[in-house]
Every structure is written in structure tokens, then in C-alpha cells.
């Protein structure tokens, strides 16, 4: 083993961290006779991605002060992007400070872009704008980071302004720029502008629209209720639509109660993606809402037989440099008793503030007929109340100073019920609550959300 070079050890380390987990990776790391910068970075990134901020800091300290390493641009960027993925602002800020001290005020395009992306994805869009504004040189990657960040935060108008400035500065937009632009139009309900950009893609900018661009447009048109236009666009596509495009259209059918079109799409989707039961759930709920109980019931039977496969929703937040994670109905946290006491109190106050649990979308999981429903309603409500977002919020209210902003990360889309609960909570507790879900940021303040309920 001693004959192995540092490089091949590092390759082994990377593989072990990726496939056998962090603990085994650490064993390899500790055994290495000699460690290069890449090896240190692999280990640190592993810790950051798993929410182990304290361990990451310990290793950084040892690397820099103990072994005299200096982090180069590549290491800085990999750590920053790990911070973006896990939402670790404290480490991201530290990297910012370190870079300024080591490199100087102008940290360069690469690290600057990493910082913009990190701040945007950690919910600090203001800080991202400041870093971006101070960058003396900006390439298309930097612009994309800024524009995507603004799009994620639902700042549709700022995205459009930014795009104009980008063109003015003579930077050529690419396919990613347009993806951010179109998704911003979609999240802000700017249908006509979205159409305009989509049409200019090829004709003015010479970019061939890809599947993702079509998916964005279908989403944009669908949300706005223009389902016929969305369908026509899909038919005009030069390649066959994938399940993301069709799934988005089905979602819009659900929102706008178009059962017939929904049925048709569902049939196509089942052929494309036979193992995914999410579509069945959507259609079944659509039937239930439009009073077609018999159809809803037969779909539920199919689902029951196959077993509903769902990715569990988790919500997490950093408090005191540590990641706290919750799943629905979680009782594993050491503060569980306190969290549930806070939750009870919170629900009571939310109800006084006008919160009505939205049990309709939960019909499928609670019961099979309408009579069962009224009996099961209480139970369904209980399930709603212990959604991971609400547990995280209760935890945050206990563990952060009053008046401070609460940052929550959710791995899936935030549900309708939690969305309305968060709005009222932000008012009752006088707190800004920022939730980053799988698609975007929601910033709840004084009873309303930055998305204006358009998501
Ligand atoms: Zn929820
Ligand atoms: Zn929102």
C-alpha cells in the first residue's frame, strides 16, 4: 500500500466517499501516508454535503493552520458549491472571508461566481447581488448564476432587467440563461414576455430550444390556464416530449380542473414512466374534486395494490452550526417534546389567525369514501400538522432569537397547506420565514409570500 502515489490514493478516497459513505472515506483519509489538496477538499466537501459543518471546519483548520495548505480556486469553488447544495451559509461566509484575505478584493470570475451562487442558494439574494455588482469581470457563467438566483427568488422583473444589462454589456446569453429567464417568467406569471423570449431563442440568439426550454414554456402556459396552447406547443416539438413536460401539463390540468385532458395525458404518462405513481395520485385527486368518486376509487385500488412510492419529504435547518432534519411526523429529535408543545400552540394561534387546514388534497391518503372522510378528517388534520416544514418551523421558533429570520430547506415542493400556514405564522410571530423548496424560494413576511401564491 505504501507504494501507492498520492494521486491514486486520492482517486480511491473519492470513490469510497461517493459509494461507501463518509465514515469509510474518513478511514481511508486517515490512513493516507501523504495528502494533497484534492484529498483534503474531497473530505471537507463530504462533510459539508452531509450537514456536518463542525467537522468541516475542524478539517479546514487542520489543513490550513496545521499543514500549511492554501486553498486554490478549484478547492474554494468545490467547497462553495457544496455549501450551495446543503444550504450551509456559515461555511460559505467563511470561504468568502478567506478568499478576500488570500486573493484580495477581486477574487476572480470563478470564485466570484461561486460566491454569487452560494449566497443566492442559501437565501441571501441581497448578498449575491452585492458580490455580483462588485465583480470587475463577468462572463456568461457569472451572469447565469445571478439571473438563476433572482429567478429562484421569484424576482421576475429584476431577472428581465438583468438580462437587458447583460446584452448591453455585450455578453452572449446561452441555453442556461434562457432557462432561468423562462422559469422566472413562469414563476411571475409573465406569459407574453415568456413567449417573446422563447421565440427569440433561435431567431435572434441562435440557440436551439432543448427539452428543458419546452418544459418551462409548457409550465408557463399551463399555470396561466392556456392548456390548449401548451398542448399545441408539445405537438410542435421537434422531438418526443419526456415525462417532465407531460407531468407539468398534467399538473396544470389538475389546477384548472381539466379532467378530460388529464385522463388523456395520464394514459401517455403511464406508458412513459410506468413505475411512477405520482400521476395516479394527481388524477385520482382530480376525479375526487370533480365528484367522480367511482373513478377515483378504482384508481386508488390500483395504487393500493402497487403500493404508493413516494420520496419522503424532509425539511432541515441550521442552528448553532448544526443541521437539524425533520420528516413528517418525526419524533427522533432530542427536543421532540418541546417541538410538539410549540407545534400545538402554533396550530392554535394559526387557527385564530384564520388558518383553515386544507384537507381536500389529502383525500386520497385519508379515506376511500365521503362518509369515511368526515370521520377521518381529524386524523388527516393531524397528519397535516406534523408535516416536516411545520416541525422545522416550530423548532426554529424555539431555537432562534425572536425577530430573526428563519431559514428552512425542503427537498420537495412545499405543499399548499404549509404554504398558507407559513404566511399566517410570519404575521403572528413577526418573523420572516424563508423556505427553499426543490424549485424556488418562498419568503414569507407579514402574512404574505414573495411568490404572490403563483407557484
Ligand atoms: Zn405541508
Ligand atoms: Zn410562496
Task: Break the chain into its structural domains and give their ranges.
Answer: 1-130, 314-449
Is the predicted pLDDT of residue 111 greater than 50, yes or no? yes
Distance between Cα 288 and ligand 1 center (Å): 20
Distance between Cα 426 and ligand 1 center (Å): 16
Model pLDDT, residue 311: 67
Distance between Cα 440 and ligand 2 center (Å): 9
Cα 235 versus chain centre, distance: 30
Q: 244 or 128: which carries more pLDDT confidence? A: 128
Cα 103 versus chain centre, distance: 31
Distance between Cα 248 and ligand 1 center (Å): 20
Distance between Cα 415 and ligand 1 center (Å): 4
Calculated CA dihedral for residues 125, 147, 154, 187, nearest 10 degrees: -160
Q: How far apart, in whole angstroms, are the C-alpha atoms of residue 324 and residue 335? A: 11
Task: Give the closest ligand to the alpha carbon of residue 434.
Answer: 2
Calculated CA dihedral for residues 427, 325, 400, 438, nearest 10 degrees: -40
Task: Give the closest ligand to the alpha carbon of residue 152.
Answer: 2
Model pLDDT, residue 369: 39
CB within 8 Å of 103: residues ≥ 6 apart: 111
Digit-coded pLDDT (tens) for 216-252: 999 999 988 999 999 999 999 999 998 889 988 988 8
Digit-coded pLDDT (tens) for 53-97: 999 999 999 999 999 999 999 999 999 999 998 889 999 999 999
Give the chain's largest Cα–Cα span. 73
User: Which whole-number Å values give the CA distances from 235 to 201, 212, 231, in the listed order?
Assistant: 19, 15, 6
| Strand 406-410 to 441-445 pairing | unpaired
Task: Give the closest ligand to the alpha carbon of residue 448.
Answer: 2
Q: How confident is the model at residue 296 (pLDDT cuts 50, 70, 90)?
A: confident
Q: How far apart, in whole angstroms, are the C-alpha atoms of residue 336 and residue 158? A: 41
Q: Are 227 and 253 in contact (CB under 8 A)?
A: yes
Amino acid at each position: 500500500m505504501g507504494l501507492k502515489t498520492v494521486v491514486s490514493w486520492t482517486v480511491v478516497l473519492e470513490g469510497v466517499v461517493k459509494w461507501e459513505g463518509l465514515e469509510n472515506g474518513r478511514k481511508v483519509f486517515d490512513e493516507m501516508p501523504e495528502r494533497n489538496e484534492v484529498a483534503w477538499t474531497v473530505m471537507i466537501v463530504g462533510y459539508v454535503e452531509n450537514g456536518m459543518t463542525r467537522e468541516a471546519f475542524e478539517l479546514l483548520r487542520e489543513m490550513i493552520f496545521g499543514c500549511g495548505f492554501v486553498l486554490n480556486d478549484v478547492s474554494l469553488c468545490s467547497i462553495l458549491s457544496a455549501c450551495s447544495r446543503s444550504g450551509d451559509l456559515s461555511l460559505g461566509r467563511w470561504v468568502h472571508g478567506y478568499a478576500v484575505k488570500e486573493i484580495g478584493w477581486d477574487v476572480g470570475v470563478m470564485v466570484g461566481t461561486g460566491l454569487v451562487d452560494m449566497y443566492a442558494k442559501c437565501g441571501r439574494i441581497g448578498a449575491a447581488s452585492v458580490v455580483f455588482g462588485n465583480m470587475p469581470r463577468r462572463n456568461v457563467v457569472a451572469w447565469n448564476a445571478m439571473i438563476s438566483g433572482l429567478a429562484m427568488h421569484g424576482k421576475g422583473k429584476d431577472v428581465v432587467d438583468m438580462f437587458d444589462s447583460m446584452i448591453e454589456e455585450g455578453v452572449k446569453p446561452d441555453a442556461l440563461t434562457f432557462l432561468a429567464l423562462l422559469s422566472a417568467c413562469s414563476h411571475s406569471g409573465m406569459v407574453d414576455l415568456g413567449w417573446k423570449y422563447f421565440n427569440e431563442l433561435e431567431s435572434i440568439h441562435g440557440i436551439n430550444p432543448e427539452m428543458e426550454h419546452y418544459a418551462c414554456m409548457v409550465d408557463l402556459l399551463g399555470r396561466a390556464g392556456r392548456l390548449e396552447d401548451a398542448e399545441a406547443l408539445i405537438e410542435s416539438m421537434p422531438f418526443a416530449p419526456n415525462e417532465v413536460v407531460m407531468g407539468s401539463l398534467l399538473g396544470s390540468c389538475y389546477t384548472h380542473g381539466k379532467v378530460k385532458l388529464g385522463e388523456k395525458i395520464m394514459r401517455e404518462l403511464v406508458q412513459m414512466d410506468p413505475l411512477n405513481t405520482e400521476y395516479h395520485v394527481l388524477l385520482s385527486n382530480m376525479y375526487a374534486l370533480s365528484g367522480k368518486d367511482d373513478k377515483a376509487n378504482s384508481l386508488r385500488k390500483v395504487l393500493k395494490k402497487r403500493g404508493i412510492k413516494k420520496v419522503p419529504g424532509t425539511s432541515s435547518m441550521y442552528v448553532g452550526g448544526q443541521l437539524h432534519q425533520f420528516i413528517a411526523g418525526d419524533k427522533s429529535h432530542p427536543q421532540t417534546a418541546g417541538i410538539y408543545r410549540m407545534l400545538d400552540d402554533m396550530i392554535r394561534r394559526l387557527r385564530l389567525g384564520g388558518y383553515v387546514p386544507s384537507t381536500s388534497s389529502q383525500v386520497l391518503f385519508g379515506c376511500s369514501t365521503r362518509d369515511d372522510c368526515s370521520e377521518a378528517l381529524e386524523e388527516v388534520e393531524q397528519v397535516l400538522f406534523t408535516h416536516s416544514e411545520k416541525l422545522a418551523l416550530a423548532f426554529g421558533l424555539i431555537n432562534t432569537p425572536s425577530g430573526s429570520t428563519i431559514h428552512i430547506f425542503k427537498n420537495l415542493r412545499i405543499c399548499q397547506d404549509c404554504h398558507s400556514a407559513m404566511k399566517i405564522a410570519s404575521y403572528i410571530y413577526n418573523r420572516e420565514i424563508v423556505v427553499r423548496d426543490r424549485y424556488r424560494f418562498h419568503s414569507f413576511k407579514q402574512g404574505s409570500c414573495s411568490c404572490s401564491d403563483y407557484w
